Amino acid sequence: MHDAPPFSADAMLARLARWLRVLGWDTRLDPQLPDPDLVALANAEGRLLLTRDRLLLRELQPARSLEIVHDAPLQQLVQVVTVLQLAPPRELHSLPQL
């Protein structure tokens, strides 16, 4: 299990960002920020960019990113925890299977 990196989430993942914050993980969310600025800020701060936007990933190529593939925020959270091999927060008693 690993420690969580600092995250940056795009506007499509506001609910996931709130979950991450509630669970104590450093997560930046600025829904008004244009995509190029979002990527530049994430890169400058060494954040892992969480996004569902494939065009953003392909065109702007953030230094560190994770494409979120689920629609439901809880499934998104499970994806982040599973893919990054994070220790599930104690606040979550159980995580559903992907």
Q: What angle do CA 76, 81, 83 make, to 5 degrees?
A: 90
Residue appearing with tokens 């927060």: 89
Supply the pTM of this predicted model: 0.88
Given a contact cutoff of 8 angstroms between Cβ atoms, the answer to whether 6 and 46 are in contact is: yes
Please measure the distance between the N-terminal and C-terminal CA atoms of the chain and give it in whole angstroms: 18
pLDDT digit string, tens, across residues 64-95: 999 999 999 999 999 999 999 988 666 555 55
Mean pLDDT of 51-75: 97
Quote the pLDDT of residue 81.
92
